[in-house]
Amino acid sequence: MTSTLRRATAAAALAIATVLGAASCTVEGTPVRPGRDVGTDTGRVDTDKFERLLEECDILSAVQIGKAVGGGTAQPGFYGANCRWLVASKSGVVNVMFNWFEWGSFAQEKDTAKRLDFTTENIQVRSTAAFTARDPKRPGVCGVTAKAPSSGIYTWWVEPEGAPSGDACAAPIKLMELILSGAY
């Protein structure tokens, strides 16, 4: 066996041993979502309680999203845990993101925004408790989070790539108003 072949065989054996060793690790404890106590969270989701489940990204039309952010029809970019669109506007491209966390906590979202050094402001959107989140380093960016009518939280983020015009929170507030009014 040549020395190159021996080194390659040794490297392969070491890689396999590392993967097997990592795969056999265990972590002690019981996994618990934040805000829950051990034994109280069954992990089961009653999907009958969530209207439009698996249709989160279709909650508003591409035309409604585009109009709300001051541009043309929104072009979908990614549909998954977060729904993302790009909208062409007079001032450039606007990035729009929506998420609905069925098990999300309003207080936890607000605490997270504060930990990220975002400034937050309590607001009401269609008589629903909400808050804005702004990144002082990016004044054109704004997110709005509100309690979802059935369960969890909704969040809209709007981030123009060009210079922002007007109130950065106007567009995500408008998007939130649309879904909370049932305009979908």
For residue 91, what pLDDT is reported? 82
Query: Model pTM?
Result: 0.70
Query: pLDDT at position 19, please?
Result: 47
Kindly state the helix (H) or strand (E) to which residue 121 belongs, with its residue range.
strand 119-125
Give the residue carrying structure tokens 């249709």.
55
- CA gap 144, 180 in Å, rounded: 12
Smallest Cα–Cα separation from 80: which of 54, 111, 112, 47? 54
* Mean local confidence (pLDDT), 100-128: 93
Q: What is the pLDDT of residue 128?
A: 92
- Give 108's contacts (C-beta < 8 A, 6+ positions apart): 34, 35
Residue 39 has pLDDT above 90, yes or no: no
- Element (DSSP H or E) covering residue 87: strand 83-89
First to last CA, the chain: 69
Q: Which residues of 28-49 are buried (b: 16+ CB within 10 A; e: fewer)?
A: eeeeeeeeeeeeeeeeeeeeee
**Local structure of 42: helix, strand or coil:** coil
- Looking at residue 162, the DSSP 8-state letter turns out to be S
pLDDT above 70 (res 125): yes
The 10 Å Cβ neighbour count of residue 85 is 23
Please, are residues 150 and 49 in contact by the beta-carbon 8 Å criterion? yes
Fill in the amino acid letter for 148: A
The predicted model gives 13-25 an average pLDDT of 50
> What are the residues facing 97 on neighbouring strands?
84, 157
